[in-house]
């Protein structure tokens, strides 16, 4: 499965839009991009998944350029409760879940 | 409905003792996963169960680690002769469909294991 690279940490302020970019240069044709969020002392929680262009749900948007070598998770108008670790994952329908690599994620800190 | 539950939430044990960690997946979910997360680190895959198929044990770090899933539901992760490096949060997750890397995984709150 494609290796992903994302910033170790990011800081922002309440009310701002936060964009976290993930690089996956070796993404394969069948790969999807998935983001999870993990609050302190909790297990990760699914945020969003996409294949190309743009996906939006009630929590976030996911932007994927045409070459799909990167993706950007966009969190609109963040609040203190968005402080968490965000994981970018890449995988396809046919690979075992055992091949998924969560990595260290991006630690997002939101300040008042 | 209820989410994934794990017990105990915290476990402190002495080096050399055996421990059992329990996971109750979401009802109807066919796939169940175990991960380990050391402080400030990402998740390390340990094992997953997919329906009635043989489990994928490729992530188990040593033969001191084992897991079973009874009746396609509850799972127990057993660590024998615990070592201090086993200290971590052990997370369980389940997914509705047979495990593939795109399936949404629903995680439990984890069990924090401390080996003294």
Q: Between chains, do B42 and A41 touch, taking CB under 8 Å as contact? A: no
| Residues contacting residue A19 through CB under 8 Å, at least 6 positions apart | A72, A73, A74, A75
The mean pLDDT of chain A is 92
Tokens 């997370």 belong to which residue? B91
Tell me the shortest Cα–Cα distance from B20 to chain A, in angstroms: 19
Q: Closest-CA residue in chain A for B110?
A: A43
> Which pLDDT score is estimated for A74?
98
Check pLDDT > 80 for residue B46: yes
Percent of chain B exceeding pLDDT 90 equals 67
- A73-101 tens-digit pLDDT: 999 999 999 999 999 999 877 777 667 77
Q: Are A91 and B100 an interchain contact pair (Cβ–Cβ within 8 Å)?
A: yes
Strands (E) in B43-102, as ranges, are 43-50, 65-69, 75-79, 88-95
Q: Reduced to 3 DSSP states, what percent helix, strand and coil does chain A have, rounded to the nearest 5?
A: 5, 50, 45
How many Å lie between the alpha carbon of A100 and the closest alpha carbon of chain B? 6
Interface list for A 29-58 with B (CB within 8 A): 32, 34, 41-46, 49
| Model confidence pLDDT, tens digit, residues A14-32 | 999 999 999 999 998 988 9
pLDDT beyond 60 at B30: yes
Contact check, Cβ <8 Å, B35/A100: no
Tell if the CB–CB gap between B102 and A101 is shorter than 8 Å.
Answer: no
User: Measured between alpha carbons, how far is B60 from B68 in angstroms, rounded to an integer?
Assistant: 13
């Amino acid at each position: 499965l494609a290796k992903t690279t994302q910033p170790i940490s990011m800081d922002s302020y309440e009310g701002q839009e936060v964009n976290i970019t993930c690089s996956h240069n070796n993404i394969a044709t069948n790969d999807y991009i998935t983001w999870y969020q993990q609050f302190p002392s909790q297990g990760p929680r699914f945020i969003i998944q996409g294949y190309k262009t743009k996906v939006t749900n009630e929590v976030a948007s996911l932007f994927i350029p045409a070459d799909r070598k990167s993706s950007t998770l966009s969190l609109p108008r963040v609040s203190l409760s968005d402080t968490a670790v965000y994981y970018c994952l890449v995988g396809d329908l046919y690979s075992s879940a055992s091949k998924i690599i969560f990595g260290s994620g991006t630690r997002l800190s939101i300040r008042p | 409905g209820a989410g994934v539950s794990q017990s105990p939430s915290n476990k402190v044990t002495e080096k050399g003792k055996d421990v059992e960690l329990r996971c109750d997946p979401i009802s109807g979910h066919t796939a169940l996963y175990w991960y380990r997360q050391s402080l400030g680190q990402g998740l390390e895959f340990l094992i997953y169960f997919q329906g009635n198929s043989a489990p994928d044990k490729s992530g188990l770090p040593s033969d001191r680690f084992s897991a079973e899933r009874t009746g396609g539901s509850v799972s127990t992760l057993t660590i024998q002769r615990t070592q201090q490096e086993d200290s971590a949060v052990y997370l369980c997750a389940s997914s509705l469909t047979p495990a593939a890397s795109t399936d949404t995984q629903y995680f439990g709150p984890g069990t924090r294991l401390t080996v003294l």
